[in-house]
Amino acid sequence: MNISGCLFDMDGVIVDTAKHHYVAWKSLADELSIPFTEVENESLKGLSRLDSLECILRLGNLEVSSNTKIELMEKKNQLYLQIIGSMGPDDILPGVKELMLELRNEGVGICLGSSSKNASSILKSIGIFDLFDGIVDGNNLTLSKPDPEVFIKGSKILGLTPSSCIVFEDAESGIEAALSGGFFALGIGKEGSLKRAHANVQDLAHLTFEKLQALVDSHESN
């Protein structure tokens, strides 16, 4: 496989917004008297805002109306937006921008594949929005990861087949989405944390196009 396209998840891959999501969800859970820790927060990785809320409500055995869910999601989002309002270029995780610039020089298509509804505003705040050829986020999705919809849409925007694209993911649900969609799944995180991925790297620092192609070639030769 020659790499033609790269699809990036945002949270935990491009920026670390998971900690900000946790603060916002924790505040909402406390208000509802639902025990919520960083352990439970890990299970929300890759999920949509609605799916995340429903997971939290299940933790408290709470059932609420659809209108109340909308109100709760809006409350959480307003707090989250306040927290991330000060984000800038320094919040980009190591190696991300450098790799994207090299990918563009190599003629590789770049697309975002995130469940976040705030993805575009965050990418603009940190100064890399223009490096993307396409954006797929929570505003134009009907299904959450592990459904592959987000990446399938991304590959179509790039005009590429899944088999010619790499997905960069830090969550199990995202890796499963990539695998079920027929993409090469690159896990980002601690060694052994995403065992189903085709290949793993701790982060994108020092990752080059050449090293990326070597990871693909190594997997295919095994």
pLDDT at 200: 95
pLDDT at 183: 98
Mean pLDDT of the residues in the chain:
94
| Domain around 202 | 5-16+89-221
Query: What CATH number corresponds to the domain at position 54?
Result: 1.10.150.240
Distance separating alpha carbons of residues 141 and 114, to the nearest angstrom: 9
Whether 46 shows a pLDDT value over 80: the answer reads no
**Cis upstream peptide for 146 (omega within 30°):** yes
15 SS3 class? strand
Q: Which of 31, 50, 84 is the last residue of a domain?
A: 84
Whether 60 and 96 map to the same domain: the answer is no
State the maximum Cα–Cα separation within the chain, in Å, rounded to a whole number.
Answer: 53
Instruction: Note if 11 is an active site residue.
Output: yes
Query: What CATH number corresponds to the domain at position 189?
Result: 3.40.50.1000
Distance separating alpha carbons of residues 61 and 22, to the nearest angstrom: 20
Whether 139 and 213 map to the same domain: the answer is yes
| Amino acid letter, residue 204 | L
Please state the rounded mean pLDDT for residues 125-131: 96
Instruction: Note if 133 is an active site residue.
Output: no
Lowest mean pLDDT of 13-22, 39-48, 126-135, name the range: 39-48
Whether 100 and 197 map to the same domain: the answer is yes
Catalytic residue among 9, 133, 170, 203: 9
Whether 94 and 177 map to the same domain: the answer is yes
Whether 201 and 160 map to the same domain: the answer is yes
Q: In what order do the strands lie in the sheet with 5-8?
A: 134-136, 109-113, 5-8, 165-169, 184-188, 199-201
Which residue do the tokens 């601690």 mark? Answer: 190
